[in-house]
């Protein structure tokens, strides 16, 4: 199993044959950076944890260059930080019992630029051989440029596959723009309370980020509790931990759907809802 960028890394936590590890994947997450999986695709990780017939696979597209650094990492070079980030992602894969952890090693600029055949080809290869039932990607309303570019490369790769090989469900997940703004009927509610103790150790292995002043471990746990409580004002909580996702499955089912229009329709429905509510009480 080889990929195009020389910095690619394939890690199999249980030392299974790489092809077997890829083929058994049922839930796949494709994200931009190290630790994005543990935030965006946490639902898939917990769905597969300690489960014999479900396996989570992770893909990180970029090399981790340009990470903020502070404390013990303050004087690390960019190359040294990339090695740290790669190792941390391997640790998370071990803690979460992933089937396979693939780090493609591309610079962010290569993911974002117009000519990117290598990125799309690698993603197509992974999707073709894993054929996951559920795919977790960045949501197209994310406010991180690389996240949006990675999402678009994923859609390109999916659309190069024949329909029968495409994921059955594609979820656009939260990282740098949360999805609480979406209308209730538009939200996919992902309950993540199956292993409530797992989030902190998964994110805790990313010491270079936490020591650098970004307490993702605490922020994400608090957010999930808040989502569960604030989901609805007129009912009691049905779960204690909840994340939201955008259903992107139609983009995988119908190549004719325009990605930008599909995304903006969520925003337009919010705009109409706000306007209609105000008009009722003016």
Look over the chain and give the mean of its residue pLDDT values, rounded to a whole number: 93
Residue range 9-281 forms a domain whose CATH class is alpha beta
User: 91-100, 121-130, 147-156, 231-240: which range is least confident on average?
Assistant: 231-240
Helix (H, G, I), strand (E, B) or coil at 217: helix
Q: Where are the beta strands (DSSP E) in 16-106?
A: 27-31, 56-62, 100-106
Q: Are 225 and 240 in contact (CB under 8 A)?
A: yes
Strand 56-62 versus strand 134-138 pairing type? unpaired
Torsion angle of C-alpha atoms 164, 132, 130, 37, degrees rounded to 10: 140
Quote the pLDDT of residue 230. 81
In the predicted structure, residue 107 carries a pLDDT above the cut 70: yes
Task: Measure the CA angle with vertex 11, ends 108 and 112; round to 5°.
Answer: 10
Mean pLDDT on 152-177: 97
pLDDT tens per residue across span 4-46: 999 999 999 999 999 999 999 999 999 999 999 999 999 999 9
Distance CA 268, CA 248 (A): 16
204: tokens are 């805790």
Element (H, E) at 244: strand 242-247
In this prediction, residue 233 has a pLDDT band, given cuts at 50, 70 and 90, of low
Torsion angle of C-alpha atoms 119, 23, 40, 219, degrees rounded to 10: -120
Helix (H, G, I), strand (E, B) or coil at 159: helix
């Amino acid at each position: 199993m080889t990929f195009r960028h020389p910095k690619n890394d394939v890690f199999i936590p249980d030392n299974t044959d790489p092809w077997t590890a890829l083929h058994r994947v049922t839930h796949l997450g494709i994200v931009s950076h190290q630790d994005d999986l543990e935030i965006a695709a946490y639902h898939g990780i917990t769905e597969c944890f300690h489960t014999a017939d479900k396996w989570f696979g992770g893909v990180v597209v970029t090399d981790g260059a340009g990470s903020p650094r502070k404390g013990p990492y303050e004087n690390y070079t960019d190359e040294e930080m990339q090695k740290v980030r790669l190792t941390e992602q391997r640790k998370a894969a071990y803690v979460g019992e992933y089937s396979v952890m693939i780090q493609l090693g591309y610079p962010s600029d290569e993911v974002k630029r117009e000519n990117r055949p290598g990125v799309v080809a690698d993603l197509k290869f992974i999707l073709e051989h894993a054929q996951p039932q559920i795919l977790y990607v960045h949501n197209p309303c994310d406010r991180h440029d690389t996240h949006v570019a990675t999402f678009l490369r994923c859609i390109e790769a999916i659309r190069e596959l024949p329909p029968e090989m495409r994921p059955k469900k594609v979820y656009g997940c939260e990282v740098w723009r949360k999805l609480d703004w979406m209308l209730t009927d538009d939200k996919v509610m992902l309950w993540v309370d199956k292993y409530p103790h797992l989030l902190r150790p998964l994110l805790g292995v990313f010491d270079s980020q936490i020591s650098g002043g970004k307490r993702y471990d605490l922020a994400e746990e608090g957010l999930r509790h808040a989502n569960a409580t604030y989901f609805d004002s007129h009912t009691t909580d049905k779960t204690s931990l909840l994340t939201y996702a955008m259903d992107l499955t139609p983009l995988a089912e119908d190549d004719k759907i325009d990605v930008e229009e599909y995304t903006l329709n969520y925003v337009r429905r919010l705009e109409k809802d706000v306007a209609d509510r105000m008009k009722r009480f003016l």
